[in-house]
Amino acid sequence: MSTFLQVLRGEWTKFRSVRSSSLCLFAAVAVTVLLELLGSTSGSTDANKQPQYSDQAYFVHKPLSGDGSVVARVVSQLDSQEWAKAGLLVKSGLAPGSPYAAVMLTPEHGVRMQAMFNTDLAGTAGAGAPRWLKLTRTGNTVVGYESTDGRSWQQVGSVTVTLPRDAEIGLFVASPPDYRTTRTGSGSAITIAGTVGSAVFDSVTVAGASSAPDWAGQNISLMPSKPGGAVGDVGGMVRSGGTFTVSGSGDIAGYGIASWRSPGDDDLVVLSLFGVRLGLIAIIALGVLFMTAEYRTGLIRTTLAASPRRGHVLAAKAVVLAGAGFVVGLIASVAAFLLAQPGMRDGGYIPPAYPKISLTDGATARAVVGTAIYVALIALFSLGVAVVRRRTTGAIVFVIALGVLPQIIGPVISPESDVWISRLTPIAGLAVQQSVKEGQVIGPWAGIGVMCVYAVAALGVGYWQLTRRDA
């Protein structure tokens, strides 16, 4: 053990004293962070771009002059889509895109309060019908409540919305389209299927609304920020005494800027760490140069003379390189993630379609640490290839061709080829960055396992060559 520690100390001394090592490590962090900053802010550079939104629902309403409130019980709700919405709405007018606030019940996300296409507040998780809801307006302050019995109320949230004195208040139902994403490694295909939600309301009471007109039904069905306008014009109301059966489609939510995309279609963690993919080139160069530089200068003869046990030399190099790769990968990943978040929010990745993410989230922490592990494994794979090939240029080109190019050429060939390339080549390890389970072609840790096989195989062949060839 003492002999190996001496070899390890010697390799560490060589590593930190060689200028190219520091340059490669710096380049890996700098390229990762710079690419992430450029990518996350590119969507917010045009001052004319505005957040896109969907304002589509069936609205059963009355005029509200000044302060007031509406109370209703959601007796039942059709589970048409996990984000189907049935609840109470106050809106500055009937035009799509006008300011609003709403409290609602959803089939799979419990009670929510949403406002202005960019605010999403959670109430009781897992709550289902029947459920009492209440919405009160005092000036520009709107407060949402929920209750199990209509007597004891729990506040869901409070928002500030610019409302005119004369607004509209009442019941609404919406059901977003199903966006089915089929992932093909680096690419994806999206199909859209419309859904129709339905809910039954009773015990509807309104304070402050005009008593002159009866309830009116309005299908708010335009999506003004998306070219083409309406996705559908589905919805209606059937009233029997004090019971309202309301159906509607679409959504009231914001989805970002620059181009229309489905709610939650992008994996924000992957986007936040995307710069690592280019930074890998510097890590590959580091892993190769750590070995080939000794062959080029002839220092390898001195190294092997001082340490005849060649396995110890390769193991020491692997420990030093893996440790440096992991630390640098972790620094680059954390920095890229944190710096990307403000730009992504400015670029339209905002709630409710894109909830805020942080390093304390389980999936995010796994992605960040897993990325650092992947960087270390790529460095080891590069080291093993360098031992076999002994030439800097050839080794770097080989590793880049196998570890970087597949993610570029895979989607170009065909979706099927992309899937298998993403499972069988070293880029499988990048699956560790995924935080969205839908459409994964390989699991996060399974992908790291594939990368481990490549690293171990390269080092194994490298060891075999090192012990059988002259320096």
The per-residue pLDDT for range 195-224, each reduced to its tens digit, is 899 999 999 999 987 655 689 998 887 544
User: How many other C-beta atoms are found inside a 10 Å radius of the C-beta of residue 97?
Assistant: 16
The mean pLDDT of the chain is: 84
The per-residue pLDDT for range 65-77, each reduced to its tens digit, is 999 999 999 999 9
What's residue 1's pLDDT? 58
**Is 133 in contact with 71 (CB distance < 8 Å)?**
yes
Range 169-194 average pLDDT: 71
Range 127-155 average pLDDT: 95
Structural domains of the chain sorted by starting position, each given as residue range(s) with its CATH number in brackets: 2-43+267-468 (no CATH), 52-256 (2.60.120)
The per-residue pLDDT for range 82-132, each reduced to its tens digit, is 889 999 999 999 888 899 999 999 998 999 999 988 888 999 988 888 999
Model confidence at 230, pLDDT cuts 50, 70, 90, reads: very low
Q: Measured between alpha carbons, how far is 280 from 338 in angstroms, rounded to an integer?
A: 19
Q: Measured between alpha carbons, how far is 369 from 314 in angstroms, rounded to an integer?
A: 25
Q: Measured between alpha carbons, how far is 196 from 249 in angstroms, rounded to an integer?
A: 5
**Is 182 in contact with 189 (CB distance < 8 Å)?**
yes
Residues 6+ apart with CB under 8 A from 434: 267, 269, 270, 367, 440, 444
Model confidence at 261, pLDDT cuts 50, 70, 90, reads: very low
What's residue 322's pLDDT? 95
Model confidence at 306, pLDDT cuts 50, 70, 90, reads: confident
What's residue 38's pLDDT? 77
pLDDT over 70, % of the chain: 84
What's residue 369's pLDDT? 96
Nearest in space to 54 (alpha carbons), one of 223, 195, 196, 197: 223
325: left (phi over 0), alpha (psi -120 to 50) or beta: alpha
Burial label, 2 (beta-carbon count in 10 A; 0-12, 13-18, 19+): exposed
Buried/exposed 385-411: b ≥16 CB within 10 Å, e otherwise: bbbbbbebeebbebbbebbbebbeebb
The per-residue pLDDT for range 353-400, each reduced to its tens digit, is 677 888 999 999 999 999 999 999 999 999 999 999 888 999 999 999
The more confidently predicted of residues 329 and 1 is 329
Which residues are paired to 253 by β-bridges? 54
Q: Measured between alpha carbons, how far is 7 from 315 in angstroms, rounded to an integer?
A: 9
The more confidently predicted of residues 336 and 355 is 336
What's residue 386's pLDDT? 94
The more confidently predicted of residues 439 and 44 is 439
Range 132-152 average pLDDT: 96
pLDDT over 90, % of the chain: 48
* DSSP designation for 20: H
Q: Measured between alpha carbons, how far is 51 from 48 in angstroms, rounded to an integer?
A: 10
Nearest in space to 243 (alpha carbons), one of 3, 74, 431: 74
CA dihedral angle for residue 312, residue 315, residue 320, residue 321, rounded to 10 degrees:
140
The reported pTM is: 0.64
Residue 237's H or E segment, with its range, is strand 235-240
Q: In sequence order, what DSSP letters do the residues of 125-192 get, joined into one string?
A: TT--SSEEEEEEEETTEEEEEEESSSSS-EEEEEEE----SEEEEEEEEE-PPEEEEEEETTEEEEEE
